[in-house]
Chains A and B, each alone.
Chain A
Amino acid sequence: MSFFKKLKEKFTSSAETEEVSDKYKSGLSKTRHSFASKLNDLVARYRKVDEEFFEDLEELLIQADVGVNTVMELVEELEMEAKRQNIKDASDLKELISEQLVQIYSNGDFVDEVPLNLNQDGLSVILFVGVNGVGKTTSIGKLAHQLKADGKKVLLAAGDTFRAGAIEQLSVWADRVGVDIIKHSEGSDPAAVIYDGIQAARSRGVDVLLCDTAGRLQNKVNLMNELNKVKRVIEREIPQAPHEVLLVLDATTGQNALSQAKTFAQATDVSGIVLTKLDGTAKGGIVLAIRKELNIPVKYVGLGEKVTDLETFDPNAFVYGLFADMLEG
């Protein structure tokens, strides 16, 4: 049985999974519509599989910000496969295309959600990193809300001491969610803030410490070194920490997202990705590219501005969401 059929069965057989997939279907409706329906259009437009068909397919994928390299490899494989199986009718290629895409993410089988790595009996430290304006502070606010709802005692550390208003922004989130915050004044040493955060977390019996950091472009060596220092300070205090280093990526970012992921991973051993602003974009393809080229799991997706608009990333539901129209239709 093909993976696609397995996937379809999984999501149509039980009520619980249906609920999960509905959430994704509505949250990703833009992504899904633009992708699945465009693929349908493409297949309908081209009766015959020819060079132009593949060129259009390439563009369709590139449009979704699936990395250029990934797309080129994928289309080349498809071309060969079509030749091998002697597929001439475009509609016969539809399933093959979807399967190949899923393959990138799943390697042919279900992928489990990768839950947050939390220290079950003691303090867990989560460090947030990323370039400017991707939504680090907002994601921290949302995650704090979620963890608190799960009964955890949460503390925030305002490690972005650089950007104007960043400390106030995190403070507003702390108030909103109802958790404590450790902060210094603007311009102070971020490593010192995080250090104080750890000490406070220990003495207050906190379960999860969420550390904000200033946004930085990945080609600024000094700033990346500073981030590495913050991480070392955490490690020195708690050898197993940080339990998670979450790289926050803006879903509207193009090819640079890969460069961000690579460089931040080098500086801080990124353990997971938070993909934000996925509600506004017709994309989502970046998830595939990151998976293929870097193998870092996406752990959360941001689907809106409300405090509840952070979802754990379910790869199967995501893939299903992408192709739902096609599978059902």
Chain B
Amino acid sequence: MVFEGLADRLQNTIKKMTGKGKVSEQDVKEMAREVRLALLEADVNFKVVKDFVKQIRERAVGTEVMESLTPGQQVVKIVKEELTSLMGGEQSKIAVADRPPTVIMMVGLQGAGKTTTTGKLANLLRKKHNRKPLLVAADVYRPAAIDQLKTVGKQLDIPVFAKGTDANPVDIAEEALAHAKEEHYDYVIIDTAGRLHIDEGLMGELTEIKAKADPAEIFLVVDAMTGQDAVNVAESFDQQLNITGVVLTKLDGDTRGGAALSIKAVTEKPIKFIGMGEKLDQLEAFHPERMASRILGMGDVLSLIEKAQENVDEKKAKELEEKMRSASFTFDDFLDQMEQVKSMGPLDDLLAMIPGANKMKGLKNVQFDDKQLVHVEAIVKSMTKQERQDPSLINASRKKRIAQGSGRSVAEVNRLLKQFSEMKKMMKQMTGMQGGKKGKRKKGFNLPFM
């Protein structure tokens, strides 16, 4: 990760304080500064940061932090709580109009990901809600935008209403609606052209579409990497269209996504979905708590667990958990798990969700390439049964044999053995953390400031 998280930042401040019996007001001030910097680095709007830090300071100056034995931990806890509550509850429901079809309008700047999100949303409505959606190609300006939506429609096998680039977007929307009524579609999702929030002419076009189509939802699609300008964009779209929700895209990148907080704070409209990849099923519900962790650079254990639950056979998972706990995890189990892990998505995505993983020796700066999995598999399969059970058996000549057997180099074999032992350590820490019991927690995963 590019920027150090809040926890790392605070750690330095805390270090200076250790040995002191009590936290002074000056200390709180310094911690507040670190909170401020962490949020600014995450692209949270400076005005939002200002109000937020003021709130934090008020709470922190109270007894909560000052009398705590672990002030750093307290501050992080407060910050996370406040962030989570600021971003509001989980709200991934999609409105239903009194009379079908329900119209959803997708709006936003150029390149935010409206067309892709339109496809994903339709897919979600059909898959999870069992609805019949119609896509409407109302972006007549960008070259081949209509082709793009048509291709997306074809991939999903969802019909697309298009009239070419010479038609007026307002007319397109109107005709699409009539068509949808006739054909009994449940949802009509209108993909509009990207436009600047300051472009009066094009913003006027959206207001017209809104007036004619009477949408139940207007989703503002925002690139999660947006900087300080996110508030202006959101404010202006909201003022002119009264949006009903926000979809945050490209969150599978390494951005902290502070824009989420800014937009929520300014518009008070819920963030409903997040885009987590280029595939058309990668649209997820927004979880404020996870987003708070992410903005603070604290990892995302919940998503990891959820991902695991989605893809891992429960019985096998129980067995695995037992093995992780007792540290009797072997290369055989590893091979077994590799199949399951492969189904969970790219490895470095998973790794990024583990708090502190980037700090672990040996794992630092490791970049996983999914093709490596094939190599790893070959290496493990070239080990004898005994070796898989007890990797400590593997000496230099065995390494050479394994390397030859798998067609990889000895260095690669070494690397895998090292990674395996790191992984074992990591698993122990993770299970310790999930244990949740107080006494156990100390032994397990320790956040650096605890």
Binding site for B on A (CB under 8 A): 30, 59, 62-65, 68, 72, 131-135, 137, 141, 162-166, 168-169, 171-173, 176, 186, 217-222, 225, 250, 252-259, 262, 277, 279-283, 286, 305
Contact = CB atoms under 8 A, between A and B. Distances in A.
A38 B346 CA distance: 45
A165 B137 CA distance: 13
Interface string B262-305: 00000000000000001000000000000000000000000000
Which 10 interchain pairs have the tightest Cβ spacing?
A254-B227, A165-B148, A133-B111, A172-B143, A164-B151, A254-B43, A169-B144, A168-B144, A280-B196, A217-B253
Nearest to A133: B111
Question: Which of A133, A141, A259, A281 has the largest number of chain B CB atoms within 10 A?
Answer: A133
Contact of B223 (A141, A219, A252, A262): A252
B253 A219 contact: yes
Contacts of B278: 132, 162-163
Given A256-B225, A256-B254, 8 more contacts: A65-B228, A133-B113, A169-B144, A169-B147, A176-B143, A221-B367, A254-B230, A256-B256
Given A171-B144, A280-B197, A254 B254 contact: no
A159 to B, nearest CB: 15
Contacts of B250: 131-133, 217
Nearest to B145: A165
Contact of B232 (A133, A172, A254, A282): A282
A225 B369 contact: yes
23 contacts: A62-B46, A64-B228, A131-B225, A132-B113, A133-B111, A133-B112, A166-B144, A172-B144, A218-B254, A219-B252, A219-B254, A221-B368, A221-B369, A252-B223, A252-B226, A252-B233, A254-B227, A255-B3, A255-B42, A255-B43, A258-B2, A277-B111, A280-B198
Contacts of A262: 2
Contacts of A132: 111, 113, 250, 278
B90 to A, nearest CB: 25
Contacts, number: 159
Contacts of B228: 62-65, 254, 283
Interface string B161-177: 00000000000000000
B3 A131 contact: no
B127 interface: no
Contacts of A131: 225, 250, 253
Contacts of A280: 109, 196-199
Interface string B349-360: 000100000000
A253 B226 contact: yes
Contacts of B367: 221
Interface string B139-153: 001111111111110
Nearest to A60: B46
B238 interface: no
Nearest to A165: B148
B12 to A, nearest CB: 14
Contact of B227 (A168, A221, A222, A255): A255
Question: Which of B2, B113, B148 has the largest number of chain A CB atoms within 10 A?
Answer: B2
A254 B196 contact: no
A217 B249 CA distance: 12
Given A164-B152, A217-B253, A277-B110, A283 B2 contact: no
B420 to A, nearest CB: 20
B266 to A, nearest CB: 14
Contacts of A221: 346, 348, 367-370
Given A168-B144, A256-B255, A219 B155 contact: no
Interface in B1-57: 2-3, 37, 40-43, 46, 50
Contacts of B144: 165-166, 168-169, 171-172
B243 interface: no
Contact of B229 (A68, A172, A283, A305): A283
B438 interface: no
Given A131-B253, A163-B148, A254-B258, A59 B227 contact: no
Given A133-B223, A255-B227, A218 B109 contact: no
B227 A220 contact: no
B355 to A, nearest CB: 17
Contacts of A72: 37
Contacts of A220: 252, 346
Contacts of A282: 229, 232
A222 B198 CA distance: 38
Contacts of B115: 164-165
A135 B142 CA distance: 11
A256 B150 CA distance: 31
B371 interface: yes
B259 interface: yes
A280 B109 CA distance: 9
B111 A135 contact: yes
B151 A65 contact: no
Nearest to B43: A254
Contacts of B41: 68, 255
B37 to A, nearest CB: 6
B126 to A, nearest CB: 18
Contact of A259 (B151, B232, B254, B368): B254
Nearest to A186: B151
B2 A253 contact: no
Contact of B252 (A163, A168, A217, A258): A217
Nearest to B199: A280
A227 to B, nearest CB: 14
A158 B409 CA distance: 38
Question: Which of A250, A252, A282 has the largest number of chain B CB atoms within 10 A?
Answer: A252
A302 B90 CA distance: 38
